[in-house]
Amino acid sequence: MTGLLVVTAVPAEAEAIQAGLADATVAVVPVGVGPAVAGAATARLLALAEAAGRPYRGVVSAGVAGGFTDRVPVGGTVLGTRAVAADLGAESPDGFIPVDELGMPAELLGGGTSVAADADLLAALRAALPDAIVGPVLTVNTVTGTAASTETLRRRHPDAVAEAMEGYGVAVAASHAGLPFAELRTISNPIGPRDRSAWRLREALAALTAAAPVLR
DSSP 35-85: HHHHHHHHHHHHHHHHHTT---SEEEEEEEEEE-TTTS-TT-EEEEEEEEE
Note the pLDDT of residue 107: 59
State whether CATH 3.40.50.1580 applies to domain 4-215: yes
Q: Are 54 and 4 in contact (CB under 8 A)?
A: no
User: Is 185 in a helix, a strand, or coil?
Assistant: strand
Would the pLDDT of 43 be above 80?
yes
Question: Which pLDDT score is estimated for 2?
Answer: 64
Rounded Cα distance between 164 and 35, Å, is 9
Confidence of residue 100 (pLDDT cuts 50, 70, 90): confident
Q: What is the pLDDT of residue 193?
A: 86
**Rounded mean pLDDT, 59-73:** 95
Shortest CA distance to 141 belongs to which of 167, 160, 173? Answer: 167
Q: What's the Cα-to-Cα distance from 158 to each of 108, 138, 152, 153, 154, rounded to whole Å? A: 27, 11, 10, 8, 5
The per-residue b/e assignment along 123-150, b for 16 or more CB within 10 angstroms, e otherwise, is: eebeeebeebbbbbbbbbeeebeeeebb
Q: What percent of the chain has pLDDT over 70?
A: 96
* Residue in 185, 173, 166 with CA at minimum distance from that of residue 62: 185
Give 115's pLDDT tier (boundaries 50, 70, 90). Answer: very high
pLDDT in tens, 11-23: 999 999 999 998 8
Residue 1's pLDDT band (cuts 50, 70, 90): very low
- Residue range 67-92: mean pLDDT, rounded: 90
pLDDT score recorded for residue 105:
64
